[in-house]
Chains A and B, each alone.
Chain A
């Protein structure tokens, strides 16, 4: 099992070496980059947006219900919601959601191409199939995912504001003051960095599993599941490592 693990890690890095070659035609690369941006990032806006709005609202209620001490200013509800969103939810939780959506999309698409010999056909034409198929996906996911994180953060705060405004669980002015209190710009950078890293892992690991899928449609299903499980665990592990390195 240990041998198999190291073999997989080795194969993954050799796969990355194939992926990160210079594209044979930059025009084709950019065209695919735009397509993949649409497929992986723009199409995720709805799910990320909806979840962010609701989570923002829920965080407000949960935080407010735990801050009943009259000594503590109600503006801390807004402050804590903001910190929870930026530090953990908008990067790690959104990445876990994307691991399911984006990861299964990439693994099943590339896996299907593998079992129908489309990848073999590309290789036999002299096209670097790994670079052609995977590099635009990895580039789009890594470079554009911070925008999703920023959108999620903004919508989370808006969701919180909706709940505050509708329920008056705390005064709206306190919430607004709280989300502006002790603002630390580095947290935004930290969260964007985590999101980029996680989306790089999601796209590359899913592509790796799809690229080496075998065993027909069952094999594609297996590769998709393996990709999601592996990336979910790695996201949580790297969340810990990056947090320790960047915040402590």
Chain B
């Protein structure tokens, strides 16, 4: 896949497959093209050339209605959570159910509460997003993303703005839900803790190109110089790599 903006090549020959039941990670420095790749994957941007396929269905050949249908099978956690200001926590999680199921109000409420319990948010059903902490908002965002039991989960920098402890809780939550529901999860991050915690499959983007692919066990032993520079920005990783 290729993508450019105003003649500047942002994504260059990206070729990658994401697998179900795994936390697939897109990593790279800020400005490397991670978010552009993610937006292409979910259809918010269109690649200049190349194809994105969900199973055997190509995104570019889908009609408007087919894309809408596919999107009901995709859960997304945005960087800023993107919870709806006009709705309470419970209403946020029930939102996709109201549109795409014929469930009764009671069934929707039950499912929403189940999803909120999964992400450890209880007792905040009637609160509005602006009454929640950043970590709580991310959890509610995840609960909303899994409300319709999607096959695909995309997370754009799920740890941004969170403290290390909450970050790890969110990472583990994403990993556990991925395995429990056998979702194809794609996480866009530059957080080394996340990468080492849940990175089942990792793709390193450098200046728009996919330079390296591996997993959390191999990333610290890479020969790729650009990736080593990225990883070694973290002191702990540098010490491990250098055997200290």
A interface residues (Cβ-Cβ under 8 A, vs B): 24-25, 28, 112-113, 116-118, 120-121, 123-128
| Most A-side CB within 10 Å, residue of B68, B71, B76, B82 | B82
Beta-carbon contact of B80 and A125 below 8 Å:
no
Rounded to whole Å, the gap between the CB of A66 and the closest CB of chain B is 50
8 nearest CB pairs, A to B: A126-B71, A121-B82, A117-B82, A126-B68, A126-B72, A117-B78, A124-B76, A125-B96
Residues in B neighbouring A25, C-beta threshold 8 A: 98-99
Within 8 A of A (CB), among B149-184: none
Assembly CA distance A127 to B147 (angstroms): 15
Contact in complex: A118, B99 (CB < 8 Å): no
Contacting residues, chain A, for B76 (C-beta < 8 A): 121, 124-125
- Other than the known A120-B78, A125-B100, what 11 A-B pairs have Cβ atoms closer than 8 Å? A24-B99, A117-B80, A118-B83, A120-B44, A121-B84, A124-B42, A124-B71, A124-B74, A124-B76, A125-B71, A127-B96
Minimal Cβ-Cβ distance residue in B for A112: B85
Q: Please, could you name 15 A-B residue pairs with CB atoms under 8 Å apart, sorted by A?
A: A25-B98, A25-B99, A113-B85, A116-B82, A117-B78, A117-B79, A117-B80, A118-B85, A120-B44, A121-B76, A124-B42, A125-B71, A125-B95, A126-B67, A126-B99
Instruction: Report chain B residues within 8 Å CB of A24.
Output: 99
Q: B82 to A118, Cβ gap below 8 A?
A: yes
B221 within 8 A of A: no
Please give, as numbers and ranges, the residues of chain B lying within 8 Å of A113 by CB-CB distance. Answer: 84-85
Whether the Cβ atoms of A28 and B44 lie closer than 8 Å is no
Determine the residue in chain A with the shortest Cβ distance to B72. A126
**Inter-subunit contact A123/B44 (CB<8 Å):** yes
B96 — which chain A residues lie within 8 A by C-beta?
125-127
Q: Please indicate which of the listed interface residues A24, A28, A121, A128 has the most CB atoms of chain B within 10 Å of its own CB.
A: A121
> Is there a chain A Cβ closer than 8 Å to B69's Cβ?
yes
A116 adjacent to B74 (CB under 8 Å)? no
User: Which of B80, B85, B99 has most chain A Cβ within 10 Å?
Assistant: B99
- Count how many chain B residues have C-beta atoms less than 8 Å from C-beta atoms of the other chain: 23
- Smallest Cβ distance from B205 to chain A, in angstroms? 21
Cα distance, A23 to B202, chains bound together (Å): 41
Asked if A126 contacts B69 (CB within 8 A), the reply is yes
Are A28 and B82 within 8 A (Cβ)? no
Alpha-carbon separation in the docked complex, A98 to B70 (Å)? 40
Give the shortest distance, in Å, between A126 (CB) and chain B (any CB): 4
Residues of A within 8 A of B67 (CB): 126
B100: which A residues are within 8 A, CB to CB? Answer: 125-126
Instruction: Compute how far the CA of A118 lies from the CA of B71 in the bound complex, rounded to whole angstroms.
Output: 15
Residue from B71, B79, B85 within 8 A of A123 (CB atoms): B71
Q: Report chain B residues within 8 Å CB of A112.
A: 85
* Structural contact, B84 and A125, CB atoms closer than 8 A: no
Across the interface, A125 reaches (CB within 8 A) one of B43, B44, B79, B99, namely B99
Name the contact of B78 in the complex, choosing from A28, A121, A127, A128 (C-beta under 8 A).
A121
Task: Tell me which residues across on chain A come within 8 A of B71, comparing CB atoms.
Answer: 123-126
Name the A residues within 8 Å of B74 (CB-CB). 124
Q: Which of B43, B79, B84 contacts A118 (CB 8 A)?
A: B84
Q: In the complex, are the beta carbons of B98 and A28 less than 8 A apart? A: yes
B95 near A120 (CB under 8 angstroms)?
Answer: no
Residues from 65 to 114 in B contacting A, C-beta threshold 8 Å? 67-72, 74, 76, 78-80, 82-85, 95-96, 98-100
A24–B100 CA distance with the chains assembled, in angstroms = 9
A123, B71: Cα distance in complex, Å? 8
Min CB–CB distance A204 → chain B (angstroms)? 20
- A113 to B86 CA separation, bound complex (whole angstroms): 10
Q: How far is the CB of A240 from chain B (nearest CB, A)?
A: 38
Pick from B68, B72, B82, B98: contact of A120, CB under 8 Å: B82
In the assembly, what is the distance between CA of A113 and CA of B84, in Å? 8
Chain B residues whose C-beta falls within 8 Å of the C-beta of A127 in the assembled complex = 96, 99
